[in-house]
Structure 1
Amino acid sequence: MQKAIKFKNRTWDVAANLHLPEDFNEQHSYAAIICVHPGSSVKEQTAGLYAARLSQEGFVALAFDASFQGESGGEPRYLEDPATRVEDIRCAVDYLTTLDFIDNERIGILGICAGGAYAANASLTEKRIKAVGTVVAANFARANSERNALQILEAVGKQRTAEANGTPAFITNWTPASIEEAQQAGEVEMDMAEAIDYYRTPRGEHPRACNKLLFTSMGAVVAFDAFHLAEKLLNQPLMVIVGDRVGAFGSYRDGFELYNKAASTDKHIHVVHGASHYDLYDQPFATNEALGKLIPFFKAQLQSINL
């Protein structure tokens, strides 16, 4: 059962789907889990898949579109701003606390890919979040340190100057639109090929996951270290899920970095053998195994008995 809702981030609306258990009763008190989507994604894709499965296990699960993207408001459009992405999560917690059927002491979070990095980062300072799960969490700072970050920043500076002087905003793609386009750009590698297969084919595409990125976003994204101070501040129970078919996006390494770095005394990491980054978005053999670890983890940490 799913209900479309909205909550506020600053002055604009964030669009979300509230996934409710089949036997939902407003008179009961439920544990809630916020599901955070990857970069370039929307709430109906992999975050919605995990949210739906969690709701089948008795949780209320909230999947939302990031500000500036999908059905959510905010300008400029297609901005990927790490600070606002983290604030979206805080605002989602705010919203859940207004619902009489949510137990404010039983709120958890689950993030996929970049959403996993944002989920971990928000949990550093948002202690209303009581349990943290990540699936193929990808840390922007690590990813961009392996690219020509200085060249990107030089280009961002030039583009900002141009836009300040009247040039239209530069909207680029998150991924090549097709394998052929990737081949022409010399970018065909396992993770990139599977990103195209998930986002740009009937497998996982959605009309509001439009593959558009405001290029000047990269000025903030390049230096965003989602795990900074995790060794001091990330003290909530933690479950990290990675796959061992390792591609260029680096989520296997990032998952182990988060696990090793977190201050949590109750922390776990699970490797889904034979799974790639994008297998853990939607492929049943991979997502079932991931959820087989995440569901009991959240039940134990959030005591998800409906009172």
Structure 2
Amino acid sequence: MNIEPQADSSSRLTRRGILQLSGAAVTATGVVTLPATSAFAAQGSANWDKVFPKSSRVDHRKVSFRTRYGITLSGDLYLPKDRGGGRLPALAISGPFGAVKEQSSGLYAQTMAERGFAAIAFDPSFTGESGGEPRNVASPDINTEDFGAAVDYLGLQSFVDRQRIGVIGICGWGGMALNAVAVDKRVKAVVAVTMYDMTRVMSKGYNDSVTLEERTKTPEQLGQQRWQDAERGAPAYGPPMNELNGGEAQFLVDYHGYYKTPRGFHPRSVNSNSSWTVTNPLSFMNMPLLSYIKEIAPRPMLLIHGEKAHSRYFSETAFAAAAEPKELVMIPGANHVDLYDREDKIPFDRIAAFFSRGL
């Protein structure tokens, strides 16, 4: 259902409150104008529709699978062409927050398949080609489950060694990946790249700068928005983001440079061509991720972040809270979005070596 954002003063106030409290979360999502519809998501594409070139060393096909909550997820499965007849180690990959599998996660999956892994990049619930209504809403619980469902799918494939499954999460799905692996003991190793803890940033803002007074105002405003949504029978969607008017912080320019240009634009991406529901922050403000990050151990964890990224403190905090075995790799000179697609900066060989040891 395509819903134009409301223009009344109450809706504007709600958005202002969201930006005051969790502007980081909204900018990380990069909302634009209209949500993708489930009808559009269901159409899919039999052609190559990624923002990166197709590898001649990899076989690709579209797949789908269901979550514990009955939502059908859509994925792109990548397999090495020269895979022989043995069972492969496998990876479930998603992110960034508000992106689709045709963007960064697909690049990661294809590249890891070139290195000998079965890899699936999937659209989270309510986004891209995956199911779920309303469109373009996120949940720390449901999106954690999305990773578990991808592990379900991989473990049922005859070409996968289900004792050798790992997870990669990018940006906001880095936090979801760590959260999923803490509880899903089937996963033997996890990598989080340029990680955001979406519950932290939506409840506390960047660098935990939000005051209690500011935090209190936002759920009050979102509660009023819920009344409006209930009266209309459909959610309102947020204002455009990742559109530059001049004077923005550099990291916002960086988001625009990926999502809104040919470098990374994709029509199904919330960040490129759509928007989140106005009330999207509610569950993130009340359900902290990473509460049990220590329980990833004794399975290995690798965190990768850009030295110049505005978001590096998320990985640093997670690393400090986690138990051994753990690694934190800082990429010299890299910003947050460099690790979405800059193959000269993403340490794919190191990631492959990590999983080869850990799986």
Q: TM-score, normalised by structure 1?
A: 0.89
**Match for residue 28 of structure 1?**
86
Secondary structure, counterpart of 1:214 in structure 2: coil
Amino acid at match of 1:201: T
**Match for residue 305 of structure 1?**
none
For the 8 Å contact 1:21–1:60, the answer to whether it is kept is: yes
For the 8 Å contact 2:182–2:294, the answer to whether it is kept is: no
- The structural deviation recorded for 1:231 is 2.6
| Residue in structure 2 matching 1:56, options 86, 92, 114 | 114
**Match for residue 111 of structure 1?**
169
Asked whether 1:293 is paired with 2:353, we answer no
Listed one character per residue, the Cα deviations across residues 47-99 of structure 1 (whole Å, up to 9, x for unaligned) are 11111110000000010001110000111111111111011111111111111
Asked whether 1:222 is paired with 2:282, we answer no
**Match for residue 149 of structure 1?**
215
**Match for residue 333 of structure 2?**
274
Amino acid at match of 2:349: G
| Residue in structure 2 matching 1:40, options 88, 91, 98 | 98
Secondary structure, counterpart of 2:101 in structure 1: coil
Q: 1:127 to 1:76 in 2, by over 3 A?
A: same
Asked whether 1:255 is paired with 2:315, we answer yes
For the 8 Å contact 2:257–2:263, the answer to whether it is kept is: yes
Amino acid at match of 2:215: A
| Residue in structure 2 matching 1:133, options 174, 191, 195 | 191
Listed one character per residue, the Cα deviations across residues 227-282 of structure 1 (whole Å, up to 9, x for unaligned) are 212134554201110111132xx2x111111112112x221111101000001111
**Match for residue 31 of structure 2?**
none
- The structural deviation recorded for 1:168 is 4.0
- The structural deviation recorded for 1:220 is 0.8
Unaligned runs of 5+ in 1: 303-307
For the 8 Å contact 1:15–1:72, the answer to whether it is kept is: yes
Structure 1: how far apart are the matches of 2:187 and 2:268? 28
Structure 2: how far apart are the matches of 1:177 and 1:241? 24
Amino acid at match of 1:150: T
**Match for residue 300 of structure 2?**
237
Of the structure 1 ranges 75-84 and 138-147, higher mean CA displacement relative to structure 2 is found in: 138-147
- The structural deviation recorded for 1:4 is 0.3
Secondary structure, counterpart of 2:317 in structure 1: helix
Structure 1: how far apart are the matches of 2:224 and 2:348? 45
Q: Which has the higher strand share?
A: 1
- The structural deviation recorded for 1:22 is 1.8
Structure 2: how far apart are the matches of 1:150 and 1:285? 43
Structure 2: how far apart are the matches of 1:271 and 1:5? 34
For the 8 Å contact 1:85–1:118, the answer to whether it is kept is: yes
Q: TM-score, normalised by structure 2?
A: 0.77
Q: Percent identity?
A: 31
Secondary structure, counterpart of 1:19 in structure 2: strand
Q: 1:36 to 1:96 in 2, by over 3 A?
A: same
Structure 2: how far apart are the matches of 1:85 and 1:63? 14
**Match for residue 232 of structure 2?**
166
For the 8 Å contact 1:245–1:273, the answer to whether it is kept is: yes
Of the structure 1 ranges 158-167 and 133-142, higher mean CA displacement relative to structure 2 is found in: 158-167
**Match for residue 83 of structure 1?**
141
Structure 2: how far apart are the matches of 1:7 and 1:169? 27
Q: 1:226 to 1:235 in 2, by over 3 A?
A: farther
Structure 2: how far apart are the matches of 1:270 and 1:159? 41
Asked whether 1:207 is paired with 2:270, we answer no
For the 8 Å contact 2:297–2:325, the answer to whether it is kept is: no
Structure with higher RCO (Cα < 8 A, 6+ apart): 2
For the 8 Å contact 1:123–1:234, the answer to whether it is kept is: no
User: What value does the CA root-mean-square deviation take over the aligned residues?
Assistant: 1.6
| Residue in structure 1 matching 2:342, options 268, 273, 283 | 283
